[in-house]
Amino acid sequence: MLRVDDNFDGGNIEVIDISLEKVSLNIKKDSKSDEKQWFYFRATGIKNIRCNFEIANASTVSYPEAWPTCSIVASYDRKSWFRVPTSYNGETLSFNLQAERDIAYFALFEPYSYERHLDLISWSLTQDNCTLLSYCETLEQNQIELLQIGTRSNDKKNIWIIARQHPAETMAEWFIEGLLKKILSGTSLQNKALLDAATFYIVPSMNPDGAIAGNLRTNGAGIDLNRSWLNPNKLTAPESHFVFEQMKSIGVDLFLDIHGDEDIPYAFIAGSEGNPSYTKELALLDTFFRAQFNKATPDFCVENGYKANLPGAGDLRIACNQVGEYFNCLSLTIEMPFTDNKYQPNKIEGWNAQRSMALGAVVLTPIRNILPKLTKTKNSDCTQIN
Ligand code: ZN
C-alpha cells in the first residue's frame, strides 16, 4: 500500500488523493504565514511502481516563476540525492519515479536537518580556534548559536557570516558547513594568515524554528527575518534582534548573508548599493570581492542576479542593507541556485550540498584577499561580551 507523509524534521506536504497511478499533493503554507514553496516528504511502498506525483497548488506558491526550470530531488537513503524530471503546466508541478526501493524521499532541495545542525555545532566546538560566543533562544525554544573563530584583537577585522534566515534555503547551511570544515580543519598557512588578520563570527542557522517546521521563509512568529532588520522586534524576531545586538557590541568590518534563490540558475552576489550612505569605496570593494570569488571558482558568477537598487532606494529591513548602512562596511548577500548553475550544469545532481559546501570553502579566498583593503569600522573594538 502506498503512503505519503511529512512527519519528520523539515517535512512539508499535504495529501489530497492517493492511488497507485497518481498521488495528488499540496504544499502547506508556513506555520504562521501564507508563504509556501518548500516541500519534503517520503513515499512508502513504491518499489517497482512508476509513481506519478502532482503538486496541485503549485501555481499559488510564493515564487511560481521558478517552476518551469525546476527539477526536484529524490533519495533512497537521505544521503545521496538525485534529480527527478519535473514539469510544470502553469497549474500543477509533476514528477515521477520508477522506484528501486520501498521508500523514497522527495524535496525541493537536499535538506539540512536539525540533527545535522547540532552535529555541526558540536564538531566545530571540538576544534581549536572555535568557541561558542553567545546564543539565543527562539520562540519555539530552539537555539541559535553564534560561533567565534579565532581570537579577538583590535588589530583584526571582524567578519560576520550568517545563514538560513530563510529556512528552506538549506544550501546556505551546507555552505556554512563547507566553510567551517575548511577553516577549522587543517593547519594550513592560509588558515593561519586568515585568523591572524581576522576574527570570524558565524551563525550557521538563523531560523531553526522555521527549518524544523518545514517553512519556506518565516520564523515561529510568521516573520520573514530578512525583512526584520530595520528595528528587530525582540518578541517576534528574537533571532535578528540577538545577532544585530551582538554585532553592535563587537563591530562589523565585512558581512556576508547566505541564501538560495528559487529562480535564478547560478550563484551570485546582491550588494547594498541602494543604501543612503553607500560610497564609491564600498562599490570598489564590492567589485573586487566578486572578481576574486569568480577567479577562485567557476561556480560563482559575477553576473547580477537582481536588478541593482537605485541610490537611496535600498530596503533597510534587509540584513545586508541594514548592516552595511549601520556599520558603513562591505555587506553582501550570497545567493545559490536551487536547481543548477546554468554555466556549469550537472544533469544528474544539479546544484547540491557538495557544491554548496565547496562554495563555502572557497569563499575564504576572496575574504583573505580583501582583508588588507578593509578599514576598521567605528564600532569595531575587542571588548569581550557575555
Ligand atoms: Zn533567502
Q: Tell me the C-alpha distance between 37 and 265, whole Å.
A: 17
Placement of cell 571582524 in the chain? 158
pTM: 0.97
| Span from the CA of 168 to the centroid of ligand 1 (angstroms) | 8
- Percent of the chain at pLDDT above 90? 91
**What pLDDT is attached to residue 269?**
97
Q: How confident is the model over 194-209, as pLDDT tens digits? A: 999 999 999 999 999 9
Q: What is the architecture of the domain spanning 3-107?
A: Sandwich (2.60)
List, for residues 11-65, the tens digit of each pLDDT value: 999 999 998 889 999 999 999 999 999 999 999 999 999 999 999 999 999 999 9
* Distant-in-sequence, close-in-space partners of 162: CB < 8 Å, separation ≥ 6: 202, 203, 206, 243, 256, 257, 258, 319
What type of residue sits at position 7?
N
In this predicted structure, the answer to whether residue 330 has a pLDDT above a threshold of 60 is yes
Task: Say which residue the cell 554548496 belongs to.
Answer: 356
The model's pLDDT over 273-313, given as tens digits with 9 standing for 90+, comes to 999 999 999 999 999 999 999 999 999 999 889 998 899 99
Ligand 1 mean position to 260 CA, how many Å? 5
Please report the pLDDT score of residue 145 as a whole number: 98
Tens-digit pLDDT profile for residues 131-152: 999 999 999 999 999 999 999 9
Q: Where are the chain's structural domains?
A: 3-107, 114-373
- Give strand pairing partners of 307: none
Gap from CA of 288 to ligand 1 centroid (Å): 23
Q: How far is the CA of 33 from the centre of ligand 1 (A)?
A: 16
Dihedral of the alpha carbons of 308, 314, 315, 321, in degrees to the nearest 10: 90
How far is residue 339's CA from residue 348's CA, in Å, rounded to a whole number? 11
Known catalytic residue: 177? no
CA 20 to centroid of ligand 1, rounded, Å: 36
Distance 340 CA to ligand 1 centre (A): 16
pLDDT band at 385, cuts 50/70/90? Answer: very low
Q: What is the pLDDT of residues 152-169, one digit of tens each?
A: 999 999 999 999 999 999
- Res. 77 pLDDT band, cuts 50 70 90: very high
CA 116, chain centre distance (Å): 15
Q: Does domain 114-373 have CATH number 3.40.630.10?
A: yes
Confidence (pLDDT) at 146: 98
Three-class DSSP labels, 40-72: EEEEECCCCCEEEEEECCHHHCCCHHHHHHCCE
> Which of 54, 281, 335, 349 is the catalytic position?
335
Cα(148) to centroid of ligand 1, in Å?
23
Query: Is 383 a residue whose pLDDT tops 60?
Result: no
Confidence of residue 384 (pLDDT cuts 50, 70, 90): very low
**Looking at the predicted structure, is the pLDDT value of residue 172 above 60?**
yes
Question: In the chain, how many H helices and how many E strands?
Answer: 9, 17
Task: Identify the pLDDT of residue 378.
Answer: 59
The Cα 371–Cα 300 span in angstroms is 19
Between the CA of 1 and the centroid of ligand 1 the distance, in Å, is 38
pLDDT over 50 (residue 110) = yes
